[in-house]
Chains A and B, each alone.
Chain A
Amino acid sequence: MADKHGSDSATSAGISVQTMEIVVALILFGLGGMVVFDSSRLGFRWVEDGPQAGYFPFYIGVFICVSSLVTLAQALFGKKRGGVFVEWAPLRQVFSVLVPAAIFVLGIQLIGIYVAAAAYIAVFMVWLGKYGWIKSVLLGVAVSAVMFMMFEVWFKVPLFKGGYNPLGFLGY
């Protein structure tokens, strides 16, 4: 998985690689710190019958902290790996998938997977694919219906119906 994006076009505007490196390294450092903190609560020593519950996590946390610090230092002081992490226009594209996906997940939480999925597919098709409403809604409902048959009816795997469960009348 080589990094083939955002390499040489340092001129155009966007989030720089350096900024992203720093942000990710800081997040990792924070996570590592949390791991170290909780492991020291559990006990991280090597006692007579081997390591305690926190032994491995402790050193894992330490490794995460150290390696993220090195990455951070490289990003701050090292040879500037210039370039843009992502330009604004593609970033907008990414968000145009990410934000609806987040809304979709929120939708699952509220109205359940089936209704949310039908709506999500339809809206996505109309908005990003420029399909007609009728076609989009039909496809969304069809996918949802197939899923419903497969999971609820045939395999008997109940999926999340949401806080409000609009399909409650179906008896599943």
Chain B
Amino acid sequence: MGIQRAFSRGLLPLVAAFGLVAASGPVAAWEPTKPVEFIIPAGTGGGADQMARLIQGIVAKHNLMKQALIPVNKSGGAGAEGFLEVKAAKGDPHKIIITLSNLFTTPMATGVPFNWKDLTPVAMLSLDQFVLWVNAEDPYKTAKEYLDAVKKGGPNTFKMGGTGSKQEDQIVTAAIEKAAGVKFTYIPFKGGGAVATQLVGKHVNSSVNNPIEAVAQWRAGKLRALCVFDSVRLPYKNKVTETQAWGDIPTCREAGVPTDYVMLRGIFMPAGVSDDVVKFYIDLFTKVRATPEWKKFMEDGAFNQTFMTGKDYADWVAKAETLHYGLMKDAGFLAKK
């Protein structure tokens, strides 16, 4: 993914400039004529929900759109409800959806009929990271120490807590298991906050929480970050805890566990909308990304700030789909036909 990112970073100012030119040009560009529904295929309080509501707040505060942006949670069936609605709303320019990995995992795990190709890709907003956490009172200082202990303990002795079943957390767990030759007991919980608390209460041994889900406990010295599942270290150098910054966490590759996984936080909309419409939204999100609120949110949650649109984005999504298919197949998570 390193090349992808470098490529997109180079492209970013170009896209932004293009978007702005298009918006300020003399041609009457498309604009929403009624409030835009912003579908969140997850429950209230989760990562996608927080991001969507932040975007709503930014759009309202900086007056980036004449019409209102209205977040609507459609979390039924591990998000399938939201995706099916957007799929059914073909040609509707007043509907957008924020995605998480369930864009891929839900149809693969449940057999619900939808695919990202049923939607129009708009923009990738960022990539969410995963970090391997253990309780700070446990003796393990590095990922290697921990995984050695897991290996020594035998299969199913160590418990990994995560959000949902056959979704990103369990996929990451399966990937670690494969890379390190160990076996965890994976325990699914309803939300990332609950997972972090269960880890602090020592009901599970480790978790692969997103940074934003566990940062509070990390800062309070309750959790220890062992490694981050990305190909490079996080770019954030400001101290978050007494001693560590996000950038001080080694990658799992460095720690001897060759796995990486990032989660898409991107925007899609229904199929069959015109290029003008897509351009409007790309422009909108470019402006959102430029606000100080967004930048702070990105840093607090240690997001990977890759931004992509158009063909790059579609290509990335296609590649991610293949990747997920492979991971889910290996782990035996695919729906039985």
Contact = CB atoms under 8 A, between A and B. Distances in A.
Let me know if chains A and B touch directly in the complex, using CB atoms closer than 8 Å.
Answer: yes
Contacts of A49: 156, 185
B68 A156 contact: yes
B70 interface: yes
A172 B35 contact: yes
A157 B73 CA distance: 11
A90 interface: no
B33 interface: yes
A156 B35 contact: yes
A171 interface: yes
A78 interface: no
A108 to B, nearest CB: 17
Given A156-B68, A158-B70, A171 B34 contact: yes
Interface of chain B, main secondary structure: loop
Contacts of A158: 35, 37, 70, 72
Contacts of A157: 70
B52 to A, nearest CB: 14
Contacts of B68: 156
Contacts of A156: 35, 68, 70
Interface of chain A, main secondary structure: loop
Contacts, number: 14
A171 B31 CA distance: 13
Interface in B125-166: 156
A11 to B, nearest CB: 50
A165 to B, nearest CB: 11
Interface in A27-51: 49
Interface centre among A49, A156, A157, A171 (most CB of B within 10 A): A156
A172 B185 contact: no
B90 to A, nearest CB: 15
Contacts of B70: 156-158
B158 to A, nearest CB: 14
A172 B37 CA distance: 11
A172 B70 CA distance: 12
Interface in A47-64: 49
Contacts of B34: 171-172
A23 B230 CA distance: 61
Nearest to A155: B70
A171 B33 contact: yes
A167 B205 CA distance: 56
A169 to B, nearest CB: 11
A151 to B, nearest CB: 11
A172 B185 CA distance: 49
Interface centre among A158, A171, A172 (most CB of B within 10 A): A158
A170 to B, nearest CB: 9
Contacts of B185: 49
Interface centre among B34, B37, B156 (most CB of A within 10 A): B34
Interface string A70-91: 0000000000000000000000
Interface in B48-70: 68, 70
Interface in A121-172: 156-158, 171-172
Interface in B198-215: none
Given A156-B68, A158-B72, A172-B35, 11 more contacts: A49-B156, A49-B185, A156-B35, A156-B70, A157-B70, A158-B35, A158-B37, A158-B70, A171-B33, A171-B34, A172-B34
14 contacts: A49-B156, A49-B185, A156-B35, A156-B68, A156-B70, A157-B70, A158-B35, A158-B37, A158-B70, A158-B72, A171-B33, A171-B34, A172-B34, A172-B35
Nearest 9 CB-CB pairs, A to B?
A156-B70, A171-B34, A156-B68, A172-B34, A171-B33, A158-B70, A158-B37, A156-B35, A172-B35
